Amino acid sequence: MIKNLELNKKLWLVTAVLSLLLSLIGLINQSIYSKVVSQEILPGVISQDLITFIISIMLIIIVFKVKKKEIKIQIIALSFLAYIFYAYSIYAIEQLYNSFYLFYLLLASISFWSIVVALANYDNDCFEEIKLNKYIRYLTITFLILIPFLFYFLWGSQLLPLMKSGQKQEFTFSIYILDLVFVLPAMLITAVMLLKKKALAYLMAPVLFFKGFTLLFSVALGSFLRPLYNVAFSAEEAFFYLILSLSFLALALLNFQQLKIEK
């Protein structure tokens, strides 16, 4: 799928090693967040570091194992890069001005441009045809349309009162920015491309679903960790994100299983 895979793998490795080190530091020495994150937000930060740590290890393994013809493995790598970009963009936008802030900026940058380089090297000639079960395709398109409208409504209903009052919220405005500027439009664009049966859309849909699963599962995990940090637990919020994350995972696996690539 990706031309010049060796160059891309080097970018992936740098991204994975750096995110591995930063997430590990955050997990071991949680005091680095003491001056930049409130106690209420800390469980979410720790859960994000935990997921980032696991994903970074998996991305390193992919770097050393993946071959040019293993298209589905490359899809997983791109989804991990998308997660790392989102995770460290949150830290960058939310101004976590600790000793590692410049590295957060670096990771947000290198993960983003790694995705750009990979897509710029997308090789349509590496397969003759790509197919997806029509029912899974219709389900995927429906999900890629409904989820953006759901979150446009949710985030819009939260943003309008803030716009009226001028109030700022910690660890919220970065999510509004990333979702409304990057993630939700990407879903809608992919849905339109799937309607037109564009080959790239068949590959991008599972990337978005895997990325959605890892991110939302991190949010759900953070909700469940709250009692450990003496923060009020909201079962409604925790299970909402857990169910939504598992829905993304199910769709990612369905797309993966039903995706037929003729090389």
For residue range 234-258, list pLDDT tens digits in order.
999 999 999 999 999 999 999 988 8
Distance of CA 250 to the CA centre of its chain: 16
Domain count, the chain: 1
Type of residue at 66: V
Sign, CA dihedral 116-156-94-57, equals negative
What average pLDDT does range 38-58 have in this prediction?
96
Neighbour tally for 59: CB within 10 Å = 23
Exposure class string for 177-204: b at 16+ Cβ within 10 A, else e = ebbbeebbebbeebbebbeeeebebbbb
pLDDT exceeds cutoff 70 at 72: yes
Residue 210 to residue 82: CA distance in whole angstroms: 9
The pLDDT tens digits of the residues spanning 52-69 come to: 999 999 999 999 999 988
DSSP state of 4: S
